[in-house]
Amino acid sequence: MAIDTTGIRAKLEEERHRIQAEIEALSEADSQSERERAGRAGRGNHMAEDASETFEHEKSLALLHNLRSIESQVDRALAKLEKGTYGQCDDCGKPIAAERLAAIPYAALCIDCKAKRERR
């Protein structure tokens, strides 16, 4: 089966742009609330508010971590596209199902190997 590398590359690059924009927006929002918190420090006791802000901060950190991990998966998929190994499972080398790639164009593992890794 011939792979439409041009279409896939466009899809991956679009995904990368989207992720980078999200990372940027998130870092910006997070440093903004960081500054606000610093500005309020020492002015009274805002325990409850601080707790929820800390929670928000941790949530956006987790989200950032997640986005960065997808970003590196997209990069890896682009590298595989260059090498001509796109669509092959990193673990077993078998082709990844087309439906899976259509849903997650940066998938590096076939569904079986993914399930195996998650069980570990």
Candidate segments 31-39, 43-51, 55-63, 110-118, binder of Zn ion by CB under 5 A? 110-118
C-alpha 80/C-alpha 62 separation (Å) is 27
Q: Which residues pair with 88 in a beta bridge?
A: 95
13 within 8 A of 81, measured Cβ to Cβ: no
Compute the distance between CA of residue 46 and CA of residue 60 in angstroms, rounded to an integer: 21
Residues 83-102 that bind Zn ion (CB under 5 A): 89, 91-92
The two three-digit tokens of residue 52, written as one number: 């929820």
The smaller minimum CB distance to Zn ion, of residues 63 and 97, is found at: 97
CA angle 99, 103, 109 (to 5 degrees): 75
Q: Residue 92 or 98: which CB sits closer to Zn ion?
A: 92
By the rule CB under 5 A, 110 interacts with Zn ion: yes
Stretch near Zn ion under the rule CB under 5 A, chosen from 14-22, 40-48, 66-74, 108-116: 108-116
What residues line the site for Zn ion (CB under 5 A)?
A: 89, 91-92, 110, 113
